[in-house]
């Protein structure tokens, strides 16, 4: 697809608004699943690790399928994918209200809703990066706050809906709200060049029309001949019976000669269609090989290779607090009278602040976005180590706010990826990285839950989480520092398909 130069404004701000509300509507319930998690524990009586799979799948399955999501967005565009995914999210939430057991929720809430969210996330990030260049950090920061605002509002909303209508009624209402994604998706107008049609379309347009309408034409010829034959025969039969028989024999001979010619034409068209299909299959196979070749080239970049390890470990350790913090407070025997605000809501509002602040910082030329991202990872690991020492609501609220702010580094992650591989490879590289992020999201909460089921306390679990995040941060830092200047100096001598992260002065 041929894109015009990013306008950095205009309709791009409409894209930012609708992308914000899209992430708000689709991620509000999955990110605030900690409220539903407590209800599912009481309703189904399963273990914490087993029940945590529902929320972890909802937040991880879409990221695991990111390569597929990227292919869908590249093939069909952001608008059709967003509209289709809106039906998936709404349908999955409504289906979950009828769940008879935890296994049904794995499919309805975990897989269906999670996959829909993954498609929507890829669509919103991709189309926003296409519309913005100089202000890309700000734009990504604004749209990514949609999920954080959704976490803040849905945490209180779902709790209130559960009290009024029960768990089933809550899921039905939240699913109905998600249908507004369809309106948002319809406004995601693609940024295309009107003078240059897409390559795929040009290739298809070269196919002769008879390949597609051949059967329709043949059917029309047969219908016309049948009608003429019938009308002519009926008229003759009314006036003269012998003429009727004679004309019928003559018509049959004419039709027989026509059928012979049609058979020859049909065989010719079949051969042509077969050759066309072979060429199309060969071309698709070449695209498939090119895709995997480009993937291997990406992993030759040390920064990119360290980035996928860091995002995997970060999501294994950094995601569980947003799902389990309410249960952590309940396990610490904190009285409900001390609650001024749900801890999940604090995480949500501070994540919004973090995404905005970090997104704005990423636009400053003197800020190295990779170092900024590494700093957030290290600070997150330290905060996770401090959770076992929090024994009051105030300390847990402070740690929730810190973790929420640092989790805002999601707003600069697409920015880091773009600067690492270039805008041309963003969709490809981002899909790979989101696959590992989804793997971490899917494994993190169940691992923490299993630690609790094993030890009957959360201390060991959060020590493990903090270690994972710190390890990922230090690995990314070590991968970047030794080759930083070398990559910068040699970038001009690298092959065209090899990408290196640029220094802060060029970021």
**How much of the chain exceeds pLDDT 70, in percent?**
73
Name the residue among 470, 462, 471 with its Cα closest to residue 384. 462
The pLDDT of residue 476: 86
Query: CATH no. for residue 99?
Result: 1.20.1250.20
pLDDT in tens, 35-64: 888 888 888 888 787 888 888 888 888 777
Q: What is the 3-state secondary structure (H, E, C) of 170-237?
A: HHHHHHHHHHHHHHHHHCCCCCCCCCCCCHHHHHHHCCCHHHHHHHHHHHHHHHHHHHHHHHHHHHHH
Q: Which domain holds residue 6?
A: 1-193
280 against 358, higher pLDDT: 358
Residue 287 counted as domain residue: no
Report the distance separating Cα 95 and Cα 88, nearest Å: 10
Give a yes or no: residue 469 inside a domain. yes
Final residue in a domain of this structure, among 193, 215, 248: 193
| Residue 27 or 306, more confident | 27
Note the pLDDT tens digit of each residue in 103-131.
999 999 999 999 999 899 888 988 888 88
Q: Is residue 151 part of a domain?
A: yes
Q: How confident is the model at residue 221 (pLDDT cuts 50, 70, 90)?
A: very low
Distance CA 284, CA 279 (A): 9
Tokens of 399: 């740690």
Is residue 19 a contact partner of residue 124, using CB atoms and an 8 Å limit?
yes
* DSSP codes, 322-356: HHHHHHHHHHTT--GGG-SS-HHHHHHHHHHHHHH
pLDDT per position as a tens digit, 340-392: 777 888 888 888 888 788 878 887 878 888 888 889 999 999 999 998 888 88
> Are residue 185 and residue 332 in the same domain, yes or no?
no
Last residue of a domain, one of 193, 211, 230: 193
In this structure, are 35 and 151 located in the same domain? yes
Place of tokens 């979950």: 96
Note the pLDDT of residue 256. 56
Q: How confident is the model at residue 458 (pLDDT cuts 50, 70, 90)?
A: confident
Residue 213 lies in a domain: no
- Core vs surface per residue 158-181: b (16+ CB within 10 A) or e: bbebbeeeebeebbbbbbebbbeb
Average pLDDT of the residues of the chain: 76
Residue 436 lies in a domain: yes
Phi then psi for residue 323, to 5 deg, are -95, -35
Do 306 and 177 have their domain in common? no
The answer to whether residue 208 is domain-embedded is no
How far is CA 233 from each of CA 219, 256, 402, rounded to the nearest angstrom? 21, 17, 89
Residue 494 DSSP class: S
More confident residue, 503 or 322: 322
Residue 485 has pLDDT above 70, yes or no: no
Q: What is the pLDDT of residue 251?
A: 53
pLDDT at 249 over 80: no
Q: Answer yes or no: is 24 within a domain.
A: yes
Within-domain flag for 155: yes
Whether 44 and 183 map to the same domain: the answer is yes
* pLDDT, mean of residues 150-171: 89
**Spatial contact of 45 and 411, defined as CB atoms under 8 Å apart:** no
Last residue of a domain, one of 165, 193, 221: 193
**What does the alpha-carbon distance between residue 91 and residue 176 come to, in Å, rounded to a whole number?**
9
In the chain, how many domains are there? 2
**What average pLDDT does range 73-90 have in this prediction?**
89
């Amino acid at each position: 697809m041929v894109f015009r130069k990013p306008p950095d404004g205009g309709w791009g701000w409409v894209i930012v608004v609708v992308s914000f509300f899209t992430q708000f509507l689709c991620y509000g319930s999955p990110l605030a699943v900690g409220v539903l998690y407590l209800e599912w524990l009481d309703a189904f009586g399963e273990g914490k690790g087993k029940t945590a799979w529902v929320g972890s799948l909802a937040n991880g399955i879409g990221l695991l399928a990111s390569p597929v999501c990227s292919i869908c967005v590249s093939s069909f565009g952001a608008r059709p994918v967003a509209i289709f995914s809106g039906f998936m999210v709404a349908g999955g939430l409504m289906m979950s209200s009828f769940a008879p057991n935890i296994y049904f929720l794995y499919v309805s809430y975990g897989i269906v809703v999670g996959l829909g969210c993954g498609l929507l996330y890829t669509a919103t990030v991709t189309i926003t990066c296409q519309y913005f260049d100089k202000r890309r950090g700000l734009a990504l920061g604004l749209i990514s706050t949609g999920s954080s605002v959704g976490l803040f509002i849905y945490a209180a909303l779902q709790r209130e809906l559960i009290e009024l209508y029960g768990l089933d009624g809550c899921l039905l209402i939240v699913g109905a709200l998600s249908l507004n994604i369809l309106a948002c998706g319809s406004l995601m107008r693609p940024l295309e060049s009107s003078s240059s049609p897409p390559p795929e379309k040009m290739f298809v347009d070269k196919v002769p029309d008879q390949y597609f309408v051949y059967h329709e034409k043949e059917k029309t010829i047969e219908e016309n001949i049948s009608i003429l034959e019938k009308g002519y025969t009926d008229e003759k039969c009314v006036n003269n019976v012998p003429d009727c028989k004679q004309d019928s024999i003559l018509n049959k001979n004419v039709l027989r000669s026509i059928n012979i010619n049609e058979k020859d034409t049909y065989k010719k068209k079949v051969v042509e269609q077969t050759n066309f299909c072979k060429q199309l299959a060969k071309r698709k196979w070449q695209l498939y090989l090119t895709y995997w070749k480009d993937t291997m080239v990406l992993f030759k970049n040390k920064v990119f290779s360290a980035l996928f390890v860091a995002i995997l470990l970060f999501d294994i350790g950094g995601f569980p607090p947003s799902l389990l913090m309410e249960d952590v407070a309940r396990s610490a025997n904190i009285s409900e009278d001390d609650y001024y605000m749900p801890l999940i809501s604090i995480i949500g509002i501070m994540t919004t602040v973090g995404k905005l602040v970090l997104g704005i910082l990423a636009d400053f030329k003197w800020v190295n976005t990779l170092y900024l991202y590494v700093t957030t990872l290290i600070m997150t690991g330290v905060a996770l180590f401090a959770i076992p020492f929090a024994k009051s609501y105030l300390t847990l609220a402070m740690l929730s706010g810190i973790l929420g702010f640092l989790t805002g580094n999601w707003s600069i992650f697409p920015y880091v990826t773009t600067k690492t591989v270039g805008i041309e490879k963003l969709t490809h590289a981002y899909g790979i990285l989101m696959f590992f992020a989804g793997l971490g999201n899917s494994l993190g909460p169940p691992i923490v839950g299993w630690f609790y089921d094993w030890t009957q306390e959360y201390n060991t679990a959060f020590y493990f989480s903090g270690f994972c995040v710190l390890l990922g941060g230090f690995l990314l830092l070590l991968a970047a520092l030794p080759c930083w200047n070398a990559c910068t100096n040699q970038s001009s001598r690298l092959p065209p398909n090899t990408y290196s992260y640029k220094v802060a002065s060029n970021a």
